[in-house]
Amino acid sequence: MRLSNSLVLLLPALVLPNPPAEGSPEQTLELKQLHDIEASRTAAEFAHADADFKLKNVTVFAEAMGPGFDLARLPETKALFDTLQAEEKASANRAKDHFKRNRPWIVDQSLHGCSTDDPPQSSYPSGHVTMGFAMATVLARLAPRRAPAIMARAADYARSRLVCAMHFQTDVTAGEIWGTMIGERLMQQPGFLAQFGRAKAELISAGVAAQ
């Protein structure tokens, strides 16, 4: 579901700086960072990042939310995050289309990442990180006592994009900014706030969030 008052006025060029230009010293340093991560990552770290790569919904935060966070039994919560995901995806795609930054494996084919299937000019900002931080911004309000674990998981999920060599550091940072802003803007919209209230009541009733 999309909200009638969507985020069309959230313009990427007014919020995010341009990413480093291809061939610039800044991008050279970002490539070195990715190679350094690749050289030092363990098999377990890569497996964790690859699992994160394949997971793109609010269940990213299941462990941080604790027992009882089962969307099959939380229809209002599921509906809230279905709405959020529709909004953040549209906004992330708009930003990607504006900046059209090449993915790391396009710039340097010697990198060994989780995949090369994503569109080549879709690196900035990271869509996974945008989603993660938009969801974390809202989840932390739904369950304030779990906010530290939620935000730690969002940061871990963001780092997975580097371990996977799917994004540059500035893509990740831009995703953190873009996702947080999307979450904050949604919390100002009456329709979303109404959904939020129903989800909050549901999570309290299920014992997932405290009153």
Sorted by sequence, the CB contacts under 8 Å of residue 170 that are 6+ apart come out as 19, 20, 26, 30, 124
Q: What is the pLDDT of residues 17-67, one digit of tens each?
A: 999 999 999 999 999 999 999 999 999 999 999 999 999 999 999 999 999
| For residue 3, pLDDT beyond 70 | no
> ω before 75 within 30° of 0 (cis)?
no
Kindly report the pTM of this predicted structure. 0.95
pLDDT recorded at residue 20: 98
Sorted by sequence, the CB contacts under 8 Å of residue 35 that are 6+ apart come out as 111
The Cα–Cα gap between 188 and 206 comes to 26
Residue 131 corresponds to which amino acid?
M
Q: What is the pLDDT of residues 168-207, one digit of tens each?
A: 999 999 999 999 999 999 999 999 999 999 999 999 999 9
Q: What is the pLDDT of residues 91-139, one digit of tens each?
A: 999 999 999 999 999 999 999 999 999 999 999 999 999 999 999 999 9
Token pair, residue 7, equals 């985020």
The Cα–Cα gap between 188 and 113 comes to 38
pLDDT recorded at residue 4: 46
Mean pLDDT (whole number) for 148-167: 98
The Cα–Cα gap between 195 and 4 comes to 13
| For residue 1, pLDDT beyond 80 | no
**Where are the alpha helices (H) located in 66-165, listed in sequence order?**
75-99, 104-107, 127-142, 147-163
Nearest Cα to 150, choosing from 63, 50, 41, 44?
63
Q: For each of the domains in the chain, give its residue range(s) and CATH number, in order of start.
A: 43-67+75-205 (1.20.144.10)
